[in-house]
Amino acid sequence: MRKALILLIVFILLLIVPFAARYMQYYTVGGSQAQPPPIFDPAKIALIATPPASEFKDEPIMDPANLSGGLVLLDQAHDNQFRLEEINFLDGRLAARNFEMSQFTDGDLAAALRPVNAFIVITPIVDFTADEIRAVSDFVERGGRLLLIGDPTRFGVTFNEDEFFGFTVEIDKNQIPLNRLANEFGLVFNGDYLYNTIENEGNFRNIILKSDGFGDDTLVEGLDQLALYSSQSLELSAGGTAVLTADDNTWSSATDRPGGLVLAATGGNSRVLALGDIHFLTNPYHTVYDNSEFITRIADFLTDAENRTPTLVDFPYFFDSPTNLVFTGSPEIGAGAFNEIIDLQSAMRQVGKTLNLADAPQKGADTVYVGLYNQAEEVADILAAHGITLVIEPPLEADPTPTPEPTAVNENEEPNPEDNTEEATQLILSDLGNVFMSGSALILLDQQDESRTLIVLAASGAGLKNSMQRLIDLVPVNAESATADCLLQGDLAICPTNINDEVVEAELDTRNLTVEDEVIPSTTGSDAAEELDAVYQGSISLDESVTGILEAAERHAWTFDAGPVVIDIQAESEALDLVLEVYDSNNILLDSSDNAIGAGGETIFGVDVPESETVTIVIYDYLDETGTYTLTVTTSEFSDIGSGNNIFIFADDDGEPLTSGFTNALEITDILAPDYAVTVWSAQADGPLEFGQLDPYDLVIWDSGDYQMTDTLLDEDTLVIFDYLDNNGNLMAIGAAPTLLGTTELALTSDLEVSGEDAVLLDGLTVGEVIPLVESIETAVFDFTPADTADENVTVFLTRGPESAASGQPIGIASAENSLSGQATQLLLIPFGILPADYQNILLSNMMAWFAENG
């Protein structure tokens, strides 16, 4: 019993003693005073130094003024884990090089890569398909640039539902879809992050990179120090080259081993750049050390087009400069060639390319040659350089000799085998084999010189028209089907012309050219639609609006038969880039409209529908997309279209005034109103012009008064007027500094002197006659050379007078183009209102009479 009691007391003491000790310690019973808790003093905490920034100055490798610009495609189709504002600085560097960044969100990647110089892929978490990988690989092989950016902080999130009563959220660090692309070029993004606890930029995951870790590459040449934030490492195989390598104090989270870790590398013959971090591109990290300069080097890498080797199907995106269209053999060109040329110009303009008709190629400019096999002498050397020979035996003569009179046949004479007529040989000899010219078109891209040349040859005029239509079909980015029936090899294509029993013609004559295989006149709307490859929707009445829904790659056809009447046809859509066409009862194209860029409207003015005539209206989307449209037919205001009586005066009064700020639209209207139907439009009061708005007018008078455009030549109104000129419009530009001339030198003008030999322009005037102006004003100096005045199509009818600065320089110029368009243009480089009143009537009457003869 005693033993049990002792054990109980010991147990109680063991419980009480620790408690008592802690009590006395806490309340300092019998001990020293407890130390007070430490006080936080921010002043005693050492601050992390802000890393210095280099003296950054963006100096592109090439002068942006010498760059024609281009596109860089940004991947947004693979659930990419970044925000656009994170790459604003890089986008700005691209813009400084005249390059625009466009986004790829869906569709055919191979087609989307056609017009671009580089492709950027940032932290995708959706796999690329095999077709997409092949498209990117082919793109790089042809000289395209590829930027791959990974980041260990941008992962895919997965849900594990294996648990019976729930699920867990997991971060997928091992699956890196970027590797499906990177592996094609000897590069691998590792599933790790890098850290350095010895030397870093404020945090152990912010890696400082010094020049001793830089590779031999222009991307880092001359740089001292960079900082990458939360980077992953790269593995390199054959063809991969390190650009940035971390020091021996940098470790990988995957291996916990330091040294030799690569953060940036190139592959694919140095056309692919892989980076393990995105944060250094963002603000403020792009300002640290030499990061800004490194990003400009990346922009130079993306915009370097020197080794970009486009293919034939990239037409027209491989043209870097304004392109000239030249007919081989200098044929007689007539209205039969207009439609395809105008349509090709319009299609190229939609994608930012310019096509001009020219008599001959110009040095340094890109050229499109079109013509017949029998008139291809001037491109024979180019064809020969590609191993192509055209054989036409016996030769075809442009002016065949008369057929000889038949001779009597001697029945007793033995036949002579040598008298048999030799069969004609008309072949294209090339690496593709020997191909008959009949029914075949040849399309060749020549890239041997600094400029690029495209050659299109066919056996006949009808075949050539169809081949030019093939070029038009190639322009949309998704138009690979345009060459689906062609035999392609490198830069050469042999394509069918779809002309049955095509005759190899001796010379091209488009004056009366119509495609002989043109569709047969239709008797019903559904027949017409079928012939025009469109889905018949029904008829539309005058002043009626109808709505339709276009499916992908679909064309709709509507018929109108309420003539005789002149109509306007308008199509509107909030989603579609519409193309509008109208055909007569024989399915011959009367007119078309494709002026708007992107969603909006198209209008065809002044379509004359005779009695008992049916016209077919065809509407479709330029990019073959799906959407809703509204089609409206109304009575046209231009019932006398083409008569020469419809005048549009554009008062361009939104520039900088040289004096008090005025135009003379009202004075010009007062003189013209008795004889012409005049419409006046003010830039300030009525707003900007719209594409197609000017098409119904026979003449546009562009009156800028004393205003000068100081911002840019190519404002919206100017583009609309240029489009009108492209469609055979006539222009009279009047003003002290017409916008047409851009920002030019000005000189004081006090008087004018009559000159020239044009009887129409000089009616009522005498050569050498001096016309004093109502007031002196500074006007544009138009620098004319003797060669300019020697052109028989250019007439100078007024010069600066003896009391004016730059005396003798032209101030009144008329140009009757000898090109296909028949376009006529006049410049009068003074405000109309400062002419004496009697001279106002004489000059304007003469100028209008000149247009009647030359417009």
853/855 Cα distance (integer angstroms)? 6
Tell me, yes or no, whether 445 and 353 share the same domain.
yes
Q: Which residue has 């995105």 as its token pair?
A: 278
CATH classification of the domain holding 474: 3.30.379.10
| pLDDT over threshold 60, residue 785 | no
- Does residue 641 belong to any structural domain of this protein? no
- Does residue 505 belong to any structural domain of this protein? no
Residues spanned by the domain of 591: 525-635
- Does residue 357 belong to any structural domain of this protein? yes
> Which residues 6+ apart lie within 8 Å of 703 measured at CB?
649, 650, 651, 652, 663, 664, 665, 668, 734, 735, 832
Tell me, yes or no, whether 274 and 158 share the same domain.
yes
Average pLDDT over residues 687-713: 81
Tell me, yes or no, whether 279 and 322 share the same domain.
no
Please identify, among 589, 610, 635, the residue that sits at the C-terminal boundary of a domain. Answer: 635
Tell me, yes or no, whether 221 and 295 share the same domain.
yes
How many structural domains is the chain composed of? 4
What are the φ/ψ torsions at residue 11 (nearest 5 degrees)?
-60, -40
Q: 168 pLDDT band (50/70/90 cuts)?
A: very low
Q: In which element (H, E) is residue 209 found?
A: strand 206-210
Neighbours of 326 (CB within 10 A): 20
Q: Which residue has 């078309």 as its token pair?
A: 592
The pLDDT tens digits for 342-374 are 888 888 877 778 888 888 888 878 899 999 999
Average pLDDT over residues 169-175: 49
Measure the CA angle with vertex 825, ends 604 and 848; round to 5°.
Answer: 90
Tell me, yes or no, whether 556 and 616 share the same domain.
yes
- Does residue 22 belong to any structural domain of this protein? no
CB burial of 471-504 (b: ≥16 within 10 Å; e: otherwise) equals: bbebbbbebeebbeebebeebbbbbbbbbeebeb
| pLDDT over threshold 70, residue 400 | no
CA distances, 758 to each of 356, 768, 792, 795, 818 (Å): 28, 14, 11, 7, 17
Average pLDDT over residues 794-798: 90
Tell me, yes or no, whether 629 and 650 share the same domain.
no
Neighbours of 174 (CB within 10 A): 7
pLDDT, position 517: 38
Tell me, yes or no, whether 232 and 90 share the same domain.
yes
Tell me, yes or no, whether 785 and 829 share the same domain.
yes
> Which residues 6+ apart lie within 8 Å of 191 measured at CB?
152, 173, 174, 176, 232, 254
The pLDDT tens digits for 269-294 are 889 999 999 999 998 898 899 999 99
Is 432 in contact with 465 (CB distance < 8 Å)? no
CA distances, 208 to each of 198, 214, 499, 768 (Å): 11, 12, 68, 78
pLDDT, position 26: 65
- The answer to whether the bond into 361 is cis (omega within 30° of 0) is no
Q: What is the largest CA-CA distance in the chain?
A: 164
The pLDDT tens digits for 524-578 are 555 666 678 888 888 899 889 898 899 888 999 999 988 888 888 999 998 888 8
pLDDT, position 31: 53
CATH classification of the domain holding 773: 3.40.50.880
Q: What is the percentage of the chain residues whose pLDDT exceeds 70?
A: 80
| pLDDT over threshold 80, residue 819 | no
- Does residue 111 belong to any structural domain of this protein? yes
pLDDT, position 402: 42
| pLDDT over threshold 90, residue 613 | no
Which comes out higher in pLDDT, residue 582 or 400? 582
54/289 Cα distance (integer angstroms)? 5
Categorise residue 364: left if φ over 0, alpha if ψ from -120 to 50, beta otherwise: left
The pLDDT tens digits for 59-84 are 776 665 555 568 899 999 999 999 99
Relative to beta strand 746-754, strand 699-708 is: unpaired
Average pLDDT over residues 745-758: 92
Tell me, yes or no, whether 630 and 573 share the same domain.
yes
562/571 Cα distance (integer angstroms)? 19
Enter the tokens of residue 250.
């940098």
Q: Strands of 425-430's sheet, edge to edge?
A: 389-393, 425-430, 433-436
> Which residues 6+ apart lie within 8 Å of 345 measured at CB?
355, 726
Neighbours of 613 (CB within 10 A): 14
Neighbours of 444 (CB within 10 A): 23
CA distances, 745 to each of 707, 740, 742, 834 (Å): 14, 14, 10, 20
- Does residue 64 belong to any structural domain of this protein? no
| pLDDT over threshold 80, residue 627 | yes
Tell me, yes or no, whether 323 and 288 share the same domain.
no
pLDDT, position 378: 92
- Does residue 9 belong to any structural domain of this protein? no
> Which residues 6+ apart lie within 8 Å of 841 measured at CB?
671
| pLDDT over threshold 60, residue 522 | no
Q: Strands of 600-609's sheet, edge to edge?
A: 544-550, 627-635, 565-573, 600-609
Q: 33 pLDDT band (50/70/90 cuts)?
A: low
Tell me, yes or no, whether 652 and 610 share the same domain.
no
287/634 Cα distance (integer angstroms)? 60
- The answer to whether the bond into 36 is cis (omega within 30° of 0) is no
Which comes out higher in pLDDT, residue 644 or 420? 644
Please identify, among 496, 511, 533, the residue that sits at the C-terminal boundary of a domain. Answer: 496
**Residue 723 C-beta-side C-alpha neighbours within 13 Å:** 27
- Does residue 640 belong to any structural domain of this protein? no
Using a 10 angstrom Cβ sphere, with 0-12 exposed, 13-18 middle and 19 or more buried, the burial of residue 637 is middle
pLDDT, position 520: 34
Please identify, among 613, 635, 657, the residue that sits at the C-terminal boundary of a domain. Answer: 635
DSSP character at residue 253: T
Q: In which element (H, E) is residue 326 found?
A: strand 323-327
Enter the tokens of residue 547.
């709505």
pLDDT, position 574: 86
Is 372 in contact with 459 (CB distance < 8 Å)? yes
Tell me, yes or no, whether 215 and 147 share the same domain.
yes
Which of 15-19, 207-211, 506-510, 522-526 has the weakest average pLDDT?
522-526
Q: In which element (H, E) is residue 425 found?
A: strand 425-430
User: Rounded mean pLDDT of the chain?
Assistant: 81
